[in-house]
Amino acid sequence: MSDFQILPNHGLGWLDASGEHADIVLSTRIRLARNLQGHAFGPRARVNDREAVLEQTRRAMAKVELLAGSRLLELPNLDRRTRGMLLERRLASRELLGDVKEGPSRATAVLLAAQDPLSVMVNEEDHLRLQGLLSGLRLKEAWNLVDRLDEELGQELPYAYHHEFGFLTSCPTNVGSGLRASVLVHLPGLVLTKEIGKVLQGLGQVGLTFRGLYGEGSEVVGNFFQLSNQTTLGKSEEELVDHLDKIIRQVIQYEDQARQVLLRDAPQVTEDKIWRAYGLLRYARSLPFEELMNLLSGIRLGVGLKLLPELRVYTLNKLMIFTQTAHLEQAAGRDLSPGECDAHRAAYVRSILSKEGPATPDSGIEQTDSPTEG
Amino acid sequence: MSDFQILPNHGLGWLDASGEHADIVLSTRIRLARNLQGHAFGPRARVNDREAVLEQTRRAMAKVELLAGSRLLELPNLDRRTRGMLLERRLASRELLGDVKEGPSRATAVLLAAQDPLSVMVNEEDHLRLQGLLSGLRLKEAWNLVDRLDEELGQELPYAYHHEFGFLTSCPTNVGSGLRASVLVHLPGLVLTKEIGKVLQGLGQVGLTFRGLYGEGSEVVGNFFQLSNQTTLGKSEEELVDHLDKIIRQVIQYEDQARQVLLRDAPQVTEDKIWRAYGLLRYARSLPFEELMNLLSGIRLGVGLKLLPELRVYTLNKLMIFTQTAHLEQAAGRDLSPGECDAHRAAYVRSILSKEGPATPDSGIEQTDSPTEG
| 10-residue mean pLDDT series, chain B (374 residues) | 56 81 92 94 91 96 91 94 93 89 91 89 95 94 96 96 89 86 95 94 91 73 91 79 94 97 95 97 96 96 92 93 95 96 97 81 39 36
- Across the interface, whether the CB atoms of A351 and B367 are under 8 A apart is answered yes
| pLDDT above 60 for A90 | yes
Cβ–Cβ gap A370/B352 under 8 Å = yes
Asked if B373's CB is within 8 angstroms of A318's CB, the reply is yes
- pLDDT attached to residue B8: 61
Say whether pLDDT at A10 is over 80.
no
pLDDT at A20: 84
Q: Is the pLDDT of residue A244 over 80?
A: yes
| A263 — pLDDT class (breaks 50, 70, 90) | very high
Flag whether residue B367 sits within 8 Å of chain A, measured between CB atoms.
Answer: yes
Distance CA B303, CA B141 (A): 26
Averaged pLDDT for residues A329-339? 95
pLDDT of residue B368: 35
Range list of H helices, B172-321: 188-192, 196-205, 237-265, 267-283, 289-304, 313-321
Report yes or no: B172 at the A interface, CB cutoff 8 Å: no
Give residue B43's pLDDT.
86
In percent, how much of chain A has pLDDT > 70? 91
Closest of B110, B114, B112 to residue B69, by C-alpha: B114
Q: What mean pLDDT comes out for the span A216-233?
A: 81
**Using CA atoms, how far apart are residues A179 and A182, in angstroms rounded to an integer?**
10
Task: Write down the pLDDT at residue B214.
Answer: 66
For the ranges A219-228, A298-307, B192-201, the lowest mean pLDDT is seen at A219-228
Q: Given phi > 0 = left and psi -120 to 50 = alpha, else beta, which region is B17?
A: left
Q: Is B89 an 8 Å CB contact of chain A?
A: no
Considering only CA atoms, give the Rg of chain B.
22
Concatenating the DSSP letter of every residue in B189-207 gives HHHHTT-HHHHHHHHHHTT
From A165-169, A255-259, B217-221, the region with the lowest mean pLDDT: B217-221
CB A354 to CB B344 under 8 A? no
Count Cβ–Cβ pairs < 8 Å, chain A vs chain B: 137
DSSP notation for A86-107: HHHTTSS-HHHH-BTTTBSPTT
**Residue A32, beta-bridge partner list:** A130, A179
Q: Do A282 and B361 touch (CB under 8 A)?
A: yes
User: Residue B194: left if φ>0, alpha if ψ -120 to 50, beta else—which one?
Assistant: left
Interval A98-150: pLDDT, tens: 888 888 999 999 999 987 799 999 999 999 999 999 999 999 999 999 999 99
Q: Is B281 on the interface with A (CB under 8 A)?
A: yes
- The mean pLDDT of A216-235, rounded to a whole number, is 81
Phi, psi of A232 (to 5 degrees): -125, -10
Residue A362 to residues A271, B346, B356, Cα–Cα distance (Å): 12, 11, 13
Q: Which pLDDT score is estimated for A356?
A: 85
**Quick one: pLDDT at residue A217?**
67
Q: Indicate if the alpha-carbon torsion angle A232, A235, A240, A243 is positive or negative.
A: negative
pLDDT of the residue at A6: 59
pLDDT at residue A2 in the model = 42
Residue B364 to residue A281, Cβ atoms within 8 A: no
A359 pLDDT higher than 80: no
**Inter-chain CB proximity A276 and B278 less than 8 Å:** no
Q: What sign does the dihedral B157-B160-B166-B172 (CA atoms) show? A: negative
Of A8, A268, A286, the CB nearest to B343: A268
Query: A26, A186 in Cβ contact below 8 A?
Result: yes
pTM confidence score: 0.88
Helix ranges (DSSP H) in chain A: 47-63, 80-88, 94-97, 139-156, 188-192, 196-205, 237-265, 267-283, 289-304, 313-321, 325-332, 338-356
pLDDT of residue B176: 83
Interface test with A, best of B363, B369, B372 (most A CBs within 10 A): B369
The closest CB to that of B348, out of A346, A352, A370, belongs to A370
Q: Measure the CA–CA gap between B27 and B19, rounded to whole angstroms.
A: 8
Q: What is the pLDDT of residues A178-211, one digit of tens each?
A: 999 999 999 999 999 999 999 999 999 998 999 8
pLDDT at A364: 39
Would you state the pLDDT for residue A5? 58
Using CA atoms, how far residue A243 sits from A131, A203, A229, A256, A307, in Å, is 19, 11, 9, 20, 33
Instruction: Using a CB–CB cutoff of 8 Å, tell me whether A224 touches chain B.
Output: no
How far is the C-alpha of A16 from the C-alpha of A159, rounded, in Å?
34
- Is the Cβ–Cβ distance between B99 and B117 less than 8 Å? no
- Residue B182 φ then ψ, to 5°: -140, 150
Q: Which pLDDT value is given to residue A174? A: 82
How many Å lie between the alpha carbon of B124 and the closest alpha carbon of chain A? 27
DSSP helix/strand/coil, A256:
helix
* Residue A285 to residue B279, Cβ atoms within 8 A: no
Amino acid at A368: T
Distance CA B66, CA B121 (A): 16
- Contact present, A146 and A32 (Cβ < 8 Å): yes
The span from the CA of A347 to the CA of A353, in Å, is 10
The answer to whether residue B2 neighbours chain A at the CB level (below 8 Å) is no
A361 and chain B: CB distance < 8 Å anywhere? yes
